[in-house]
Structures are given as structure tokens and as C-alpha cells.
Amino acid sequence: MTIRPITIYGEPVLHKRADEVPEITDEIRTLVADMYETMDAAPGVGLAAPQVGVGLRIFVYGWEDEDGTVYRGEAINPKLWIAPSIPESFEPVDEHEEVEGCLSFPGERFPLRRAPAALMEATDIDGNDYRIEATGWFARILQHEYDHLDGVIYVDRLPLPLHKQAGKIMRKQRWGVPGLSWMPGVDNLEG
């Protein structure tokens, strides 16, 4: 297994829809193993293939809830359905519970409204189809990683003035252009 560089906002692969995985090959198995290694080293709770420069519909996740339940797996060619979220006009975003970060927008966190529940169907590395129903933080992780497969980074979803604030950070960091990445375990960044 190899830790791979994580692409930063502006890399073209992050901003376009990833391609379906036609079949699970040894190359795909190696990619998934490397993605777990990279996610754990970052550290993160999820990592999509576009974040390591590969435009395929794959993500991995690894998270332990407050009850000690471990959620860890890979999603190949996932499909995601989400419950309607509460419109922001009715209830303000909880800046403690609804905060996200992203390894491709490292070191920054912003509050973002997400759906409270999600249903995902995907295939694992052994070719087994599975279904997960998720709520709360785990549902947020699945939505965040699935967005990456459609070329969306969470800061793209931020409402004003947070979207503007993220843009200022991006300009200050000189992100938003191709060719930028960081290496977990080497560069001192976290997201």
C-alpha cells in the first residue's frame, strides 16, 4: 500500500463527474488499498478517488461513532438517495454539529446544511453489492464523498457570505489552479 498525494481545489479531476468503474481489477484493488492508507494518514473520515487524482467513481470511508460503532468500507459505483434537509430559512445551521472540512480544501472548516439521512447502494472491493442506511454524521460523510464523484467540493455548496470567505482563503493560499497537492505524513496540513 502507498500513501498518495491529495489533490487541492483547482485540480481538474476534482471538478468533473468521475467515470464508472467497468470492472474490479487488480489496479482497482491497489487503488482502494492506497486510498485507505492515504485517508488514515491524512487523517480523514473519507476519501474519493478524484482526491488522489483518479477520475473513477470510488470512495472509502472510515469513522467511529460515539458508541464505538465502526463504519469502514469502500463504495464502488455508488448510488445515493437523501432525505430532504430542513430549509435554512426555517432553522439556522448548527455551527457545532453541521461543520465540514475537506482534504482537498485542507485546514478549513465551514458549516453546511446536509440531509439528515441517506441511503446508499454500492459495490465493495470483492464485487458484492450492498446497501447502507445512514443518519447523522455518517450520512454527512456519504453525501460529502458522493459529491466528490460528481465534481462538487463542499465549499461549492456554501451559502453567502461563507462561499465568499472560502474564495478569499483559496486566493490567499493560491489554490484554484491545476497541479497542487499535499502529502499526508509529510506536509503539515489537515482538513
What values do phi and psi take at 140, rounded to 5? -60, -45
Alpha helices, DSSP H only, in 26-135?
A: 26-41
- Residue 66: exposed, middle, or buried by beta-carbon count in 10 A (0-12, 13-18, 19+)? exposed
**Cβ–Cβ < 8 Å for 48, 148:** yes
Strands 181-182 and 6-7, by their bridges, are antiparallel
Number of DSSP helices (H) and strands (E) in the chain, helices first: 3, 9
97 labelled catalytic:
no
Q: Is 148 labelled as part of a ligand binding site?
A: yes
Catalytic entry in 11, 27, 145, 190: 145
Q: Which residues pair with 135 in a beta bridge?
A: 117
> Which residues line the annotated binding site for Fe cation?
102, 144, 148
Catalytic center residues: 145
> Which residues line the annotated binding site?
102, 144, 148
